[in-house]
Structure formats: structure tokens, C-alpha cells
Amino acid sequence: MTPHDLHPMPEQCDPTLVAALSQVDTSTLGHWRLWGLCDPALRPLAPGIKACGTIVTLALPGPDGALLHEVLSQVRAGDVLVIDRLGDTRHSAVGGVVAAAAALRGLAAIVVDGPVADLAEILAAGLPVWARGTSQHTTRRLGLGGRVNAPVSVGGVVARPGDLALCDGDGVVFLSPAEAARDIELAQYAATREAFIREGLAKGIALNDLLSPPALAGSR
């Protein structure tokens, strides 16, 4: 029996929340977040790209890409498709045709925990993709199964359907809508503080004089 574990598409996140989070840099979140930050080996295929949207998850086994083709008929504009390759680092599940189909569906991005193929075609499709590199070994339509819209592990982080993915040149972060709302406020404070520091530097003030003193070990 083919092992499929299929779940409904998650509700999309509030567009206002997505728009606000898209203004935040992943490295800004890295100043305080201890989880949700993916392995930095997951890199954008092109410089200067950024994406943010509702997570749709897929767990895809080894050399099989059949379930990915089914999922592409379900994804919606603004979704970020997050693909767990279940440890496979050899076979590319995302290539030129998949990228073209995803772009036509309005997908915000694909994050795949493995390699891609047809790099030039993916770039030409204009679809933002984060991956672990490229491979000439491609998946096939084998029907081995997989999971759709269940929690997956990508870049060492749990991605849950219906949560948010923020992706930019520094990497990928997964976070819940509640975490996003809180972190947007923290990022706004951080931006104000950074502007203050840059203004001080422009006036010739030493960086150390603009920063708060470090906390002492054992202090209360």
C-alpha cells in the first residue's frame, strides 16, 4: 500500500501580517530568536530575492516527485511551499517545469531541503527558491507516497502548515502568526535603535559608546 498522509490546505495568514513581516530581515530576527532559524546552508538561488507567506508543507521521499505535482494543483497565490526531502541530498525534486508551474499558481516561494535542477530555467521563471544547491539527479513519478500539510523538518527546524515563512538573502525563518506579530514589534524597535546608532556613528561617536554595556555574569 502506498503510504500517503494527506491533510487539507491550511488557512492563509492575514495579508496585513504577511505584509508587515515581509519588511523584516531574517538577520534582525536572529538577534533574539533561538528557534525557527533554518540551517544557513539553505540559500537563495539568486541574490536580492525575498519572500514571505503561509507555509504549505510536503514530505517527499528520495527519488519520487509524484506527490509534488499533485500539490502544485492545490497551492494558492502567496503560499510558500516547504519541502522536506526526508534526508535525500542527491535527487532534485524542483526543476524548470515545476518552477514554471509554481510561478503560474502565484506561489510566493519554494523552500526545499535538498538540491534543485535546471538552475537557469528556475531563475527565468522568476520564482524565489531556497535550496541546498544543484544536482543533475532528478526525481521521477514513482508514486512512493509522502505527506502533505503535516509538520515537517526542513533545515533542522519544524515547519507547520499555516505558519509563516520569511526568506531572504540571509536565510529562512519559520514562525507562528503569534510569534510574527510579536517579532514585528521587536523589529520596529530594533530598526529605531539601529537608526540612532548609525546617526551617532555619522557624528563620530564610537560604536562602544552607543551600545548598552554587556550584562555581567551572575548579575541580578
User: How high does pLDDT run on average in the chain?
Assistant: 92
Q: Is pLDDT above 60 for 120?
A: yes
Q: How many CB atoms lie within 10 A of CB 134?
A: 14
In the predicted model, what is the mean pLDDT of residues 97-106? Answer: 97
The set of cell numbers assigned to 69 is 505535482
The set of cell numbers assigned to 181 is 506579530
Q: How far apart are CA 79 and CA 57, in angstroms?
A: 10
* Domain 4-175 architecture: 3-Layer(bba) Sandwich (3.50)
161-215 pLDDT, tens per residue? 999 999 999 999 999 999 999 999 999 878 777 776 777 778 787 777 767 766 5
Structure confidence at residue 5 as a pLDDT band (50, 70, 90): confident
* Residue 22 backbone dihedrals phi, psi, to 5 degrees: -65, -15
> Given this model, what pLDDT does residue 206 score?
75
Q: Is pLDDT above 90 for 4?
A: no
pTM over the 0.85 mark: yes
